[in-house]
A and B are shown apart, each in its own frame.
Chain A
Amino acid sequence: MDIYLLEAIINGILLGGVLALLALGLNLIFGVIDVIWICYADIVMCGMYAIFFLYTQYNVPLPLAFLIAIIGVAGLGVLVHLLIIAPVLDSAPINQLLATGGLLFFLQSFATLLFGTDFRNIGVRLPVLEIATMYVSFARLIAFAVALIGAVVLYVFLKRTYIGTAIRAVAQDREIVGLMGVDQRRIYLVVSAIGGALAGLSACLLALQYDVHPYIGNTFGPVIFMICVLGGLGNMIGGFVAAFVISQIIAIGGYYSSTELSYVFAFTFFIVLMFIRPRGLFAP
């Protein structure tokens, strides 16, 4: 096989890691609370700004800045639920979409107002590894490994703990869980915090690779939604796998043509698939 194609495939797999992590967060929130956070990628943007300022302006060591960002964005997730979602939880789904959509524009405008439209980089240059004459970005390798670990930790949490089992139960029958002593509102807060923490973790991984600017959410937000729908909204494993399918299309498409065109391929694939399998790749 062409060594450059192999390189593209490997980079595609590595790119898929962070996308998979974000898809997990979005699917978890949708599956349990039945609400789509349109603003999810912009919450990641907030985390990236936090890391940028903590590290470059306040000289906080990078690992500590990462930790603060994860906890901070988890807190932001709880706030989003309490302030934006909870008041419209019983109203029509379109109102919930409009509310989180409004938050998207609010966050983008607010970031523009505060920080301007400059592209900012934390300035950490990780090496590019040369493995058997292929070039692999170390930052992407780390991002992939951490995303995978994050997914495994989440899986074990959902599978092995009482609260994790309760989270899955709420997703299957929200009315009846109260009979088992589960407080639905508390579960929603826990899930919003986990969703936020996953966004915060993604912010750390993305800050190592990309510049932050107020509209960075627009560059990967739509891709994450496409992945979630492709995997079946609320289906966490489906979304996780779909992230790698899409990242491969982008990587291989980019190898044969250009990066811009590769997104066209990915979205075309998505649209065609929506006609063939409207409920997602893995719907029974």
Chain B
Amino acid sequence: MLSLATVSAGYGSFQALFGVSLDVARGEAVGVIGPNGAGKTTLMRVISGILPMRDGTMSIEGREIGGLPAHRVVEQGIAHVPENRRLFPRLSVEENLRIGAFIPSARARFAEQLDWVYQLFPRLKDRRNQLAGTMSGGEQQMCAIARALMSKPKVLLMDEPSAGLAPIVVQQVFELAHRIRAEGLTVLIVEQNVQQVLDVVDRAYLLEVGSIKLSGTAAELKGNSFIREAYMGL
């Protein structure tokens, strides 16, 4: 479904990704774990086209997307829930969702998609006229995910959905991730919360200093002694 081969990227003279290759199959949930500064967010930004790729190839369903600007990548079926949610704080919840359905194919199905995300997240329906910036962190994360779903993506990218949230809310966010999986979406999720993300995904990659160091099924990684020591504190 989503395929990256030897992708490199960086900012100015700083190189953040060194030949990263990864694959996500249809209907699969894949995690990318790793420490702060490993390049996880950069990887997400490169896939969604906010940051230009320097080298390598990237495709969705066999169509090349490397080099496309962000607003064209969405049209290819990739939606990105950015780090720290990045809602439009002075737009209402429903206006945020409307922006999520900006691309022509999504506009045509706006009412239908809106029903679907309200069904997934009933809380958002109660708050639909509230300014997004005035909601709690967990509700904002819900809204950010819903906004991405409004474009009816084939692949959902989630960047650190648990970042900056209270532990009990983190639990709820991972429940949201389960719910999205149950809808049959293909998901690529970046997390520092290794223990919990491995409960949600089928497979995961370990990214360290801009390269993939390890990969395997969630069960394999949970049993890996290096991962257990370095990332799960066991």
Interface residues of A (CB under 8 A from B): 162, 165-166, 168-169, 172-173, 175-184
In the complex, per-residue mask of B99-130: 1 if CB is within 8 Å of any chain A CB, else 0: 11011001100000000000000000000000
Contact of A169 among B79, B80, B88 (CB under 8 A): B88
A166 to B107, CA, bound (A): 13
Is the beta-carbon distance between B91 and A168 smaller than 8 angstroms? Answer: yes
Residue of B nearest to A168 (CB): B91
> A179 — which chain B residues lie within 8 A by C-beta?
48, 50, 70, 74, 79-80, 82, 148
The distance from the CB of B125 to the nearest CB of chain A, in whole angstroms, is 19
Residues from chain B with Cβ under 8 Å of A169 in the complex: 88, 91, 99
Q: How far is the CB of A143 from chain B (nearest CB, A)?
A: 31
Q: Is there contact, CB below 8 Å, between B88 and A172? A: yes
Given contacts A180-B74, A183-B71, contact A162 B98 (CB under 8 A): yes
**Most chain B beta-carbon neighbours within 10 Å: one of A166, A178, A184:** A178
Cβ contacts under 8 Å, B71 to chain A: 177-178, 180-184
Q: Which residues of B contact A183 (CB under 8 A)?
A: 69, 71
B50: shortest Cβ distance to chain A, in Å? 6
Interface residues of B (CB under 8 A from A): 48-50, 69-71, 74-75, 79-80, 82, 86, 88-91, 95, 98-100, 102-103, 106-107, 147-148, 151
* C-alpha spacing A166/B95, complex, angstroms: 9
A175 nearest CB neighbor, chain B only? B50
Q: Provide the residues of chain A in CB contact with B151, threshold 8 Å.
A: 180-181
Closest to A183 in B: B71
CA–CA, A175 to B70, complex, Å?
A: 10
CB-defined contacts of A182 to chain B, threshold 8 Å: 71, 99, 102
Chain A neighbourhood of B102, CB < 8 A: 162, 166, 180-182
- The CA of A182 and the CA of B75, in the complex, are separated in Å by 10
Give chain A residues whose Cβ lies under 8 Å from the Cβ of B70: 178-179
**Docked complex Cα distance between A162 and B106 (Å):** 11
Which of A166, A173, A176, A181 meets B75, CB within 8 Å? A181
Complex contacts, A166 vs chain B, CB 8 Å: 99, 102
- Taken together as a complex, chains A and B put the C-alpha atoms of A183 and B151 apart, in Å, by 15
**Interface CB pairs A-B, < 8 A, 16:** A162-B102, A165-B98, A169-B99, A173-B86, A175-B50, A178-B49, A178-B50, A178-B70, A179-B79, A179-B80, A179-B148, A180-B151, A181-B74, A181-B102, A181-B103, A181-B151
Extra contacts besides A176-B82, A179-B82, A180-B99 (4): CB < 8 Å:
A162-B107, A169-B88, A169-B91, A173-B88
**4 nearest CB pairs, A to B:** A178-B70, A181-B103, A181-B74, A172-B88
Q: Which residues of A contact B91 (CB under 8 A)?
A: 165, 168-169, 172
Q: Which residues of B contact A172 (CB under 8 A)?
A: 88-91
Q: Within 8 Å CB of B107, what residues of A?
A: 162
Known: A169-B91, A172-B90. A180 touches B100 (CB 8 A): yes
Q: Is there contact, CB below 8 Å, between A168 and B74?
A: no
> Given the complex, which residues of A lie within 8 Å of B99, measured CB to CB?
162, 165-166, 169, 177, 180, 182
- Measured in the bound complex, the distance between the Cα atoms of B223 and A123 in whole Å is 88
- Shortest distance between the CB of B21 and any CB in chain A (Å): 24
Within the assembled complex, what's the spacing in Å between the Cα atoms of A210 and B71?
Answer: 46
When C-beta atoms are compared, the residue in chain B nearest to A184 turns out to be B71
Q: How far is the CA of A184 from the CA of B151 in the complex (A)?
A: 18
**How far apart sit A184 and B71, CA to CA, in the bound complex (Å)?**
9
Q: How far is the CA of A178 from the CA of B102 in the complex (A)?
A: 10
Quick one: closest A residue to B98, CB to CB? A165
Max chain B C-beta neighbours (<10 A), residue from A169, A175, A179, A183: A179
* Of B50, B88, B107, B148, most A-chain CB atoms within 10 Å: B88
A178 with B69: CB separation less than 8 A: yes
Residues of chain B with a CB closer than 8 A to A177's CB = 71, 99
Measured between alpha carbons, how far is A176 from B96 in the docked complex, in Å? Answer: 12
- Are the C-beta atoms of A168 and B88 separated by less than 8 Å? yes
Q: Which residues of B contact A176 (CB under 8 A)?
A: 82, 86
- Chain B residues closer than 8 Å to A178, beta-carbon distance: 49-50, 69-71, 74
- B-side contacts of A175, CB under 8 Å: 50
Contacts of B49 in A (CB 8 A): 178
* Min distance, Cβ B60 to any Cβ of chain A, angstroms: 15
Chain B residues with Cβ under 8 A from A184's Cβ?
71
CA distance A181 to B71 in the complex (A): 4
